[in-house]
Homo-oligomer: A and B are copies of this chain.
Amino acid sequence: MEIQIREARETDCDAMMELVKELALYEKAPEQVTVNFDHFVQSGFGANPVWWAFVAEADGKVIAMALYYIRYSTWKGQRMYLEDILVTESMRGKGIGGMLMEALIKEGKAKQFTGMMWQVLDWNEPAIHFYKKYNARFDGEWLNAGIEF
Task: List A residues at the B interface (Cβ < 8 Å).
Answer: 16-17, 20, 24, 32-36, 39-40, 43, 48, 50-51, 67, 69-78, 81, 83-84, 105, 108-109, 113-123, 128, 131, 134-149
Task: Classify the interface of chain A: helix, strand, loop or mixed.
Answer: mixed
- Counted per complex, copies of this chain come to 2
Tell me the complex Cα distance, A123–B142, Å.
9
Tell me the complex Cα distance, A107–B28, Å.
33
B75 touches A34 (CB 8 A): yes
Tell me the complex Cα distance, A118–B74, Å.
14
B136 touches A146 (CB 8 A): yes
- Neighbour of A74 across the interface among B48, B83, B114, CB < 8 A: B83
